[in-house]
Amino acid sequence: MLTLKARFLEARELPKNDPYPASCLVAVLDGTETLHLVADAAVAVDFASLTPLTEVELVLRHRRIDLATLGGRGKAYRLSILGVKKKP
């Protein structure tokens, strides 16, 4: 597992769309880069009380992907959010 310290921007619900379960698209600011990460619908509740630019620490799961399966070359990682810790 990985952790990411960033600033929360927004969270949007993604409805269930077979074969994908309901989830949440979370945007965070890491330095000057905006990252869009997917979180399980159960984790989406943690983002409801956050205001934009709140510092958070995200617990991430990474999964290695062979880009050859997608028509590319090399390896990449797919990141998804397992949980969130609000910074004091």
Tens-digit pLDDT profile for residues 27-70? 999 999 999 999 998 888 888 889 999 999 999 999 999 999 88
Q: Which pLDDT score, from 0 to 100, does residue 88 have? A: 60
87 pLDDT more than 80: no
Q: Which pLDDT score, from 0 to 100, does residue 52 have? A: 95
What are the residues whose beta carbons fall under 8 Å from the beta carbon of 69, sequence distance 6 or more? none
CATH class of 2-86: mainly beta
- If you average pLDDT over residues 3-23, what whole number do you get? 92
The answer to whether 24 and 39 have CB atoms below 8 angstroms apart is: yes
Q: Which pLDDT score, from 0 to 100, does residue 25 have? A: 94
Which DSSP string do the residues of 7-60 spell out, in sequence order? EEEEEEEE--BTTBPPEEEEEEEETTEEEEEEEETTGGGGGTTPPTT-EEEEEE
Domain boundaries, the chain: 2-86
Measure the CA–CA gap between 58 and 70, rounded to whole angstroms.
28
Q: Which pLDDT score, from 0 to 100, does residue 32 have? A: 93
